[in-house]
């Protein structure tokens, strides 16, 4: 079994990203949302493939020496086998080689798997947005995580 990463600046992956996102989120982002985001010069898509099959994705917005993760996911059937950590570690390497020094993301305080993953790969919580998300139980806080990337 081989894992490969691809980093793309193309709107052509919008249908694939929408299909992967649907497996990971409800409600999911649609193809138009992805093509609008991918049309921006600042967005980069990372695809993680096992052999030739895409199993994970991450969408970055890169501005100068700072980047933000807009969304990321690993297909349900491949979770819990370090694919999320692999995706982020390769993403960090890609970004630091492009002189990005600060990586940010936002996560629901209720999303324990994602929070653990971010802590595992070196992110720290730096802020909280009260009631930023809404779910079936009401308002949920968003946590902002940050990581400093060093030149390699």
Ligand X SMILES: CC(C)(COP(=O)(O)OP(=O)(O)OC[C@H]1O[C@@H](n2cnc3c(N)ncnc32)[C@H](O)[C@@H]1OP(=O)(O)O)[C@@H](O)C(=O)NCCC(=O)NCCS
Enumerate the active-site residues: 106, 118
* Nearest residue to the partner ligand X, using Cβ: 84
Evaluate whether 6 touches 47 at the Cβ level (below 8 Å).
Answer: yes
Least Å distance between CB 107 and ligand X? 4
Binding of ligand X by 110 (CB under 6 A) = no
Torsion angle, alpha carbons of 85, 91, 97, 102, to 10: -90
* Of the residues 16, 24, 28, 140, which one makes contact with ligand X according to CB under 6 A: 24
- Pair type for strands 102-108 and 138-148: antiparallel
Shortest gap between Cβ of 148 and ligand X (angstroms)? 19
Task: Quote helix, strand, coil % in the chain, to nearest 5.
Answer: 30, 40, 25
The reply on whether position 61 binds ligand X by CB under 6 A is no
Measured from the CB atom, the residue of 51 and 99 that comes closer to ligand X is: 51
Distance CA 64, CA 28 (A): 29
- Give the interface with ligand X as residue ranges (CB under 6 A): 24-25, 72-74, 79-85, 107, 111-114, 116-117, 120
């Amino acid at each position: 079994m081989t894992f490969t990463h691809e980093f793309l600046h193309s709107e052509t992956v919008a249908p694939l990203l929408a299909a992967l996102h649907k497996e990971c989120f409800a409600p999911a982002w649609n193809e138009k949302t992805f093509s609008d985001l991918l049309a921006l010069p600042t967005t980069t898509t990372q695809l993680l493939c096992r052999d030739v099959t895409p199993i994970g994705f991450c969408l970055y917005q890169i501005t100068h020496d700072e980047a933000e993760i807009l969304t990321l996911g690993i297909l349900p059937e491949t979770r819990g086998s370090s694919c999320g950590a692999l995706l982020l570690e390769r993403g960090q390497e890609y970004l630091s080689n492009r002189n990005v020094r600060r990586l940010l993301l936002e996560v629901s305080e209720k999303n324990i798997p994602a929070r653990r993953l971010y802590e595992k790969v070196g992110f720290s919580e730096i802020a909280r947005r009260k009631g930023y998300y809404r779910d079936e139980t009401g308002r949920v806080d968003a946590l902002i995580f940050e990581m400093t990337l060093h030149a390699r």
